[in-house]
Amino acid sequence: MKLTIIGCSGSFPGPDSPSSCYLLEAEGFRMLLDFGNGALGALQRHIGLYDVDAICLSHLHADHCLDMCPYHVVRTYSPGGPLPKVPVHGPAGTRKRLNAAYAMPEEPALDTAFDFVGLAPGMFEVGPFEVTAALMNHPVETYGFRVSYGGRSVVYSGDTGESAELVKLAAGADVLLCEASLLDRPGLPTDLHLNGRQAAEHAAKADVETLVLTHLVPWNDRDQVLEDASRGGFGGRMELARSGARYDLG
């Protein structure tokens, strides 16, 4: 299984990264976790324009799903004719939300490109992957994902505040892509996002091998995020996410 970080910028794109999007590949099958704004451009550096086989959306905030709209154009109007529909696993209301974002709320336009499947906590199969979805701690219906293949696992937090479910989902994972949207300062909002220290605390409790701090908001000092994380009691490998970074999980 190979993981490529397409976009890791939190809440809005930055100069060096689109919003959230992660590519997982195994047996020639390609699945995206989230498809945030700007991701479709960077994705083409890594796979062909038409090569997406499945998509899982953690939640429907703009920075996690808006490039579904241009990708609908790619699959529906490609010069070679329409392409097969891509299964899209998303929270309740995904179809309506994306049709509205595309400005066609009355007609289910995006159905020409996508097969929408509702998410619920639990396990399901997508191509060669076993995917486990768990509800996270964020103001809208939001899922974290554990993707397993060949005995290895990648876990993605989506957006979340502190969450025992995330610790459970990530138990013993090879890679935890954990959001670290905030700097560790007094008076932070709760049940919304994590800071680097909290991300590292979750990684320590889950005993993961590698922690990748992601959903990095461009107005934050990246070094500060890493420094915050160093105070989270996590002893494994730890790094900041970077658009284009690849992880080969054997």
Residue in the block written with tokens 């409790």: 205
Which amino acid appears at position 123 of this protein?
M
Handedness of CA 22, 65, 119, 45 (dihedral sign): negative
Cβ 81 to Zn ion shortest distance, Å: 35
Q: Which is nearer to Zn ion, 61 or 75 (CB)?
A: 61
Binding footprint of Zn ion on the chain (CB under 5 A): 61, 63, 159
**58 versus 99: smaller Cβ distance to Zn ion:** 58
Nearest distance in Å: CB 172, Zn ion: 26
Q: At 230, list the tokens.
A: 């160093």
Phi, psi (degrees; rounded to nearest 5) at 154: -115, 130
Q: Which is nearer to Zn ion, 111 or 141 (CB)?
A: 141
CB 209 within 8 A of CB 187: no
Residue whose CB is less far from Zn ion, 2 or 242 = 242
Instruction: Give the residue from 142, 152, 169, 181 showing the smallest Cα distance to 61.
Output: 142
Termini Cα distance of the chain:
6
The pair phi, psi for residue 76, each rounded to 5°, is: -90, -35
Question: Least distance in Å: CB of 10 to Zn ion?
Answer: 6
Pairing of strands 29-33, 86-90: unpaired
DSSP H helices in 164-240: 164-170, 196-206, 222-230
Classified as helix, coil or strand, 78 is coil
**Six-digit token pair at 182?**
């905030």
Q: How crowded is residue 29: how many other Cβ atoms within 10 Å of its Cβ? A: 15
Compute the least distance from the CB of residue 166 to Zn ion, in Å. Answer: 14
218, 9 Cβ separation under 8 angstroms = yes
Closest to Zn ion by CB, 132 vs 142, is 142
CB of 11 to Zn ion, least distance (A): 5
Nearer to Zn ion, 148 or 157 (CB): 157
Closest approach, Cβ 179 to Zn ion, in A, equals 7
Closest approach of Zn ion to the CB of residue 64, in Å: 6
CB nearer Zn ion, residue 31 or residue 66: 66
